[in-house]
Amino acid sequence: MPRGGRRPGAGRKPKSATHHVLAGQAGKRVLALVPTSRDDVGTPEHAAALVMPVDLLTQEGEQAYWHRYVGPALDAGTLTAHTVGGFVLLCQVAGRADRMWEDIEREGLTASVEGVVKAHPLLPAYRGLVQRHESLLQRYLLAAMAKPDLGATAKPKEDDDSAALRQLMAIK
């Protein structure tokens, strides 16, 4: 049973199709050595259908965030026709956080009430917007995972099909 929760990348990692073929209980699954193709959700044909919803993104900052995030989200395959609503929410939250921070900076980070210096009253609300923004960025795989990219330094991986063939040939 998979575990891990709702965080992106959490839980048990899926096995490759060749590993399923070579692993146990092969009699309980259909033998298919041809890999299945994934839906092309990030192709330019699908990108043309995902036009910015002007009626929902009314603020100029929200539209700027749409243009900033739409390309990487399409490349990651997380922006589809079904996820546009959440993506609009991401752009709205980012724009609202920017506008709130402008208000905080204009009025100052601290406020003096009856001689007592306190933090700006909008800071807790701003913190909540920033946290929501970060979680939405992770949902669309736009936030960095802060892990080093080992692909450039690691030696090239062996092709899955050749590794599977080698394992099949080793079985006596």
CA dist., res. 95 & res. 145, Å (int): 23
CB distance 32 to 17 below 8 Å: yes
pLDDT (tens, 9 = 90+) of the chain, 172 residues, equals: 456 677 777 877 787 877 766 676 656 656 555 555 555 444 555 554 566 676 788 888 898 999 899 989 988 889 888 888 999 999 999 999 999 999 999 999 888 878 889 999 999 999 999 999 999 999 999 988 766 666 555 555 556 677 777 777 777 5
Domain boundaries, the chain: 37-145
CA dist., res. 143 & res. 138, Å (int): 5
Q: How far is CA 44 from CA 20, 35, 78, in A?
A: 33, 23, 14
